[in-house]
Structure 1
């Protein structure tokens, strides 16, 4: 089973930049989007063979998530508890027979950290939610999580300590999750490989010089470890300030 996650930074703009070419070439079983930046009726994507699920933000041109899946899920849930009021369209959960797929666009704590407190509340609520789901069946959790977990996950870690996306608090929330029964699949396959990033500033030559951050993830329940086949970052794919990431995993044939 092949899954792709991509923060497209506006799906309409990304389509103009070749999104559909990549979408059809990669031929994923499940394709997750973050930061779709539109409302219902503003795009008509003809994706033959896929069921489409969209979670729109109330604010125009902001946030939003979507999931395209070949296999129809048993159920679909939008949003998360009291912290996610549905206004920003940041979470979609698809339930399948043997696992949950949770697609997330995590709030940015902002450059001046004015949204850090909200971000940490979000992390606590999401953590509880993921643990509840994991008690029922394994989870595949993906998206733009807006944190570089370790120093290896960004180019200039020394000058970014304490900055948005690399605060001790944000990194600590990721550590808590991974230590409670989940796997960062990219680091499972490439624990010490440097220079693997998924986001770059639009500033001139930044992406060409690979001055980036890895803030997009596929994270799975630890009991799916033996099913993992591959985890990649498709840094050569353009169309957004993020690049797509991909997970290949055997489809669980029984509850694990």
Structure 2
């Protein structure tokens, strides 16, 4: 598989190493700011993406929507790891409607996180049925992380919202008021060198259940991003999430 890496920060470098170790070819590394010798182009366009089977994009929320539209117009499958743009998801889907697009997006490409999301979904359904439990999310990331809440925290909050009969909205900002009963709060901490810790809590007057995922390093994210590239480039068309990919993997396991 011939891969274009768009964005050559810490994640881009790890993705390149993982892709090469899996026997793939990295045909382009695109970044306007990096001085690394691996850079093949400064700007993203049809010419710089020529010859690639799939693009893996970990760039910036300010540019990612334009990137996605370009991939869709060129018919290049793309793995989107950039977060902070999900409020424009419907807009992007409308823009690329009718185009031959193959996009998978996620706030976290760790396979462990993918399974964690499924566990949280099941737990949310169970606690909603039992009743009497309030839910919230706390996440911790390194001090240099550019956005908050994290993409993973946003996905977790949406899972809680979608599977609760009593919750109506998500709040991620600091509250200077009483939190409403129908709100799910997401708390974010930026400090130190944490690769990422996410905790989902279900709390009642009698007990507390905590589900936590702790990343030990960023390597797991790179492994998942390359797996996602293989999956999306295998003839799939449309917009997908990592949960879609995991559902497909589970289905194939059941069929076997």
| TM-score over 0.5 for the pair | no
TM-score by length of 2: 0.37
Q: Which has the higher helix share?
A: 2
Considering only CA atoms, is the larger Rg found in Structure 1 or Structure 2?
2
